[in-house]
Amino acid sequence: MKSFTILLVILIGMNVSVAQEVDSTALLFDDSIVHEFNIVFYYPDWEDSLTYWYEHGEEYIPARIEYAGLVFDSVGVRYKGNSSYTMARRTPKKPLKFKFDEYRSKQECFDVEKLNFSNATKDPTFLREKLCYDILRTRTHAPRAAWAAIHVDGALLGLYTMVEQVDKKFLKRHFADNDFNLYKSADDGATLEYLGSSGDDYKREFELKTNEDEDDWSRFVQMVQVLNQAPDATFRTLAGAWIDFKSAVMMLAFNMVMGNFDSYTGSGRNFYIYDDQEGGQFTFIPWDINEGFGAYSNNWNVFTQDVLNVSNLQRRPLNRRIVSDELLRADYLRAIAELVGSAAHEDSIAAHIARFTPLIDPWVRADQYKLYTYQNFLDNIHSDVVIGINMSVPGLTRFSQTRNAALRTQLQNYAALSADDIPKAAALTADVYPNPVTSTSTLVYFLPAAGSVRCVVYDALGRAVRRIDAASQEPGMHQYSMDMTDLSPGVHFYHLFHTDGSGNVAQTTGRITVLH
């Protein structure tokens, strides 16, 4: 299969010195190809059935799925989404979800039970969701994404963005224990305001996605109460025992940098919270970011929105209390500066657009049910386009250039930084997720220019236990999966070196905590 061949070539090219276990999910989310799925429904009126069950409880209907030479029988298929479904009512190309174990217990596709397929609503470029998730994954827990061509009985239904499901499989990859409660903001949004002492008080704003039978919301209620009621003087200490501020700050910073306002920052929608009792804190996981790059305006000034003066702070206690606390506010502004200087830098975004556009272009041309024209696809990469009834969607490069310029000015004013302190050129960055790690972890790094890469992982005694060498890599984001099961528990350190074409060497370091 092509995916396996590509992975083997990558591994050989990386010249890995330590044998590693292949993460089969990495094959499924390989973004160097457009993945092809063929759906064979068991009866001809599949569109009517999907529509009926979308409107009556979002139930699945059975189908056979063919992918990469494999056949998965009795897979659950259903429509999904809210506005992405509504805006596609006149076309067969509605957003989809596959559930491989809906009718066959323990059936999986490359170690995945569910897959989501977005239909590029309000995104003529087909790039927004993939680029946004890639940016998030350089800094925090977030799903993976790639592109998929969906066929029905061999006929192309369209090009989709395939997104990893946030579920127990996802949690297992990112956290030491995946047995705790996972919450998702409801379709009408969630504020995280304190609504009462009973879990029932929060069920109109959140859905419990795991441990539903136990239905224990007690820790969630305590977290929300502390978030809202802890005194200002002790807020950081008290709330820090309950909330993973690193993930919260990064989610809010990302929303501001990428104009992602169909989120907690704006609509209150599209995020998960995991009660990571092993780590001791509630962790925030962004979701459904197809309207990044300013595609969701809803009266927000997506180009110049101030990062501290936000109109709805009284209804967003997480945002309000972070920007009201001196140290947390500094973390928030620093996170914005780091994004603007690396993964969200306009040069980085342009490099990824240049990488991915040729890959998806033929599929966009062939997609007869796409929601926008092929010319919209070409134009919206750089320029604003009007869709629907006077709905303007910002061009990707115009948005990143304009928004970043506004953010650099704000950062100078708010953080009392000099112009030299605000990164205008992309910088070498690296991080590891999940961290702590129990089995496999992924090194994610951003290269500001083409060149060679060397990364060494050391144990606490200074012994090299992992080494990665790549003679030549293009600028942009890269990732590499590392099996850590044979390493001793404790703190390890990675040291990443990048040498560009002029011989200039940049380096960055970090730590990895191994748990067994």
What pLDDT score does 449 carry?
84
Identity of residue 39: I
What pLDDT score does 35 carry?
98
What pLDDT score does 325 carry?
95
- Residue 268 CA to residue 275 CA, distance in Å, equals 19
What pLDDT score does 4 carry?
41
Bond preceding residue 436 cis, omega within 30 of 0: yes
What pLDDT score does 395 carry?
98
Q: CB-based burial of residue 214 (10 Å sphere; 0-12 exposed, 13-18 middle, 19+ buried)?
A: exposed
- 302 vs 488, higher pLDDT: 302
* Averaged pLDDT, 363-392: 96
What pLDDT score does 2 carry?
43
- Residue 123 CA to residue 88 CA, distance in Å, equals 13
Which of 94-98, 147-151, 423-427, 436-440 is least confident?
423-427
Residues 59-103: tens digit of each pLDDT: 999 999 999 999 999 999 999 998 899 999 889 999 999 999 999
- Residue 358 CA to residue 324 CA, distance in Å, equals 45
- Residue 455 CA to residue 450 CA, distance in Å, equals 16
Q: Which two tokens stand for residue 98?
A: 């596959």
- 494 vs 434, higher pLDDT: 494
Evaluate the CA torsion angle 428, 434, 435, 438 in order and state its sign.
Answer: negative
As a whole number, the mean pLDDT across the chain is 90
What pLDDT score does 1 carry?
40
- 138 vs 145, higher pLDDT: 145
Does the structure show a pLDDT above 80 at 17? no
Let me know the angle formed at the C-alpha of 191 by 208 and 319, rounded to the nearest 5 degrees.
Answer: 120
Evaluate the CA torsion angle 341, 342, 343, 348 in order and state its sign.
Answer: positive
Does the structure show a pLDDT above 90 at 10? no
- 201 vs 20, higher pLDDT: 201
What pLDDT score does 417 carry?
57
What pLDDT score does 3 carry?
42
Residues 144-157: tens digit of each pLDDT: 999 999 999 999 99
